A = this chain, B = another copy of it.
Amino acid sequence: MNPTAENPLRVVVWGENRHEQVEPHVAAIYPDGMHAAIKSGIEEHLGDRVRVTTALLDDPDHGLSEERLAQTDVLTWWGHAAHAEVSDEVVERVHRHVLDGMGLVVLHSGHWSKIFVKLMGTSCTLRWRSENDRELVWTIDPTHPIAQGVPHPIEIPQQEMYGEQFDIPRPDEIVFLSTFSGGEVFRSGITYRRGNGKIFYFSPGDQDYPVYHHRDVRRVIANGVLWAASDRPARETPVLLRYESGDFFTGHGYQGAMHNRDDA
């Protein structure tokens, strides 16, 4: 997809928005919420090629109605303290839209969100420590569009440590690897395709540190949003269909496991 001012990418930045309400030190760093910082980072880099709105956990339907998702090219997801409060119905809806072709950018503690865990099929556990580690983000795939425009490495002075083993499926692509002062390593920028959709997970970013104000982190998120947007002409649900011999294009309905033989 090659968005323009006339045909901009429609991005929804989803935020849990709880730490900001409850913890003064978080509110001090992100006075308008982390979602506002993430939104402004995307706009800063993509300008009028993108139209960004936000959706919050406490909005009706978490701000993610069927109608809204149908109008969303890429969804970004930040959650942490309230993963369990996200309704299963909304998770199913987002999951379907990803398989149909909506892009998804999962950030930091979103690794344990219901939607990411469902898409991965694993526990998505890791090792962690929040003690002001310095994080270095190294580009492993120098050809990747998500890696353009940032130094090698990106230096983040203060960060939570996320370390291996990260219990995830083998990524389609590893774009970035991170190291921490303590010596840990993490697959911090990775991509997956699921159905017709593309997923980018990027771990830098935390409520306790001003990571979403970091210029390189903002650039990577903007790059990731652009990359995750589908190249396909339309949203489409993968379906199971029968195709007669010699006809490759007119699949027809599945009528149940016991009807194999009568189906033709």
Contacts and interface: CB of A to CB of B under 8 A. Distances in A.
Contacts of A194: 121-122, 169
Contact of A240 (B118, B125, B169): B125
Interface in A10-64: 19, 22-23
A178 B19 CA distance: 34
A127 interface: yes
Q: Is the interface of A mostly helix, strand, loop or mixed?
A: loop
A65 interface: no
Interface string A151-174: 111010000110111010110111
A73 interface: no
A73 B248 CA distance: 37
Copies, count: 4
Contacts of A174: 174
A8 to B, nearest CB: 15
A247 to B, nearest CB: 9
Nearest to A174: B174
A242 B242 CA distance: 35
Interface in A128-182: 128-131, 133-134, 136, 138-145, 148, 151-153, 155, 160-161, 163-165, 167, 169-170, 172-174, 177-179, 181-182
A260 B130 contact: yes
A242 B129 CA distance: 5
Contact of A123 (B99, B144, B165, B261): B99
Contacts of A231: 143-145, 148
Contacts of A92: none
Interface residues of A, number: 93
B169 A246 contact: no
Nearest to A197: B143
B261 A208 contact: yes
B81 A126 contact: no
A193 interface: yes
A161 to B, nearest CB: 8
Interface in A192-242: 192-198, 208, 230-233, 237-242
A80 B243 contact: no
A-B residue pairs, 7 tightest by C-beta: A81-B257, A167-B238, A125-B240, A121-B121, A119-B121, A130-B260, A182-B245
